[in-house]
Amino acid sequence: MAVSQTTLTALRSPTNSWALWDETFPKTGCLCETPARIVQFLTNSAADLRPDVVFVGYNPTRAPGQLAHPFQSFHLPSSLSRYGRDGRLKRLVQDDLTYSLRGRGVPNRLAGAFITDVYPDSPGSSVKDTEVQDRGDQHASFLEKLCTLLADPYFPEPRTLTLIAFGRSAWTSLLEAIGMSYGMAALSAFPFKRVHSCKTFASSQVQDDFPCPSGPLKVRLVLFGIWHYSSRRSNRCILRQLECINSLIGERQRNR
């Protein structure tokens, strides 16, 4: 998988990024401590990025101005990242998932995914404290990002876009942004259904005819259910969620 330099340039923004980090992140000495180096790192790693998988948050949780450099979102080192969530995401998606799958000979299809928010222009420390303005404009901007990814020459066939929502607020706003009806189908293979009283991990029904200038495609919307909880057990649960999502993408590719 890869992403073109044209796509990287078009999506260059402080509130966009990619699920790829240098090995030392988020520790002292990682390249993200010098934000200008993030662009060069991702540019040099374009062959390891993928346009067909997107992690989606509700809004940036950083203070205005804290994200000032392209692709800095989700790449703040421990000294700047609230609760260390950026480092936690890297550990789970890039490190733990790769290690878990390696013994089975399965590739990690989530590392290198695009990361963004539905409401990047409405930062806030929590959803309830965030006032979203120009909702329609931000939805349109979000759709433009998706179309940029879909136009990438490396976008794989069959054309299926997987959108992974960080929690229920991101899930509902994502449904609204892309005009998808509410519908969830439980993944029967997923264990730990009642961790922290969270509802069953679920995937939406796939929409087969999502409109885009480059032609209709399938969209799969997935709820990443307990991301905001942090404990040893919830981390195990999150890893199993990621394994399930990784398997969904693999099924698409096996059915080519």
What does the pLDDT look like over 150-177, one tens digit per residue? Answer: 999 999 988 889 998 887 788 888 888 8
User: pLDDT digits over 78-136, tens only?
Assistant: 656 555 678 888 999 999 999 999 988 999 999 999 999 999 888 776 666 677 888 89
Tokens 């990047």 sit at which residue? Answer: 120
Domains of the chain as residue ranges with CATH: 5-254 (3.40.470)
Tokens at 110, concatenated:
């989530």
User: pLDDT digits over 17-55, tens only?
Assistant: 999 999 989 888 898 889 899 999 999 999 999 999 999
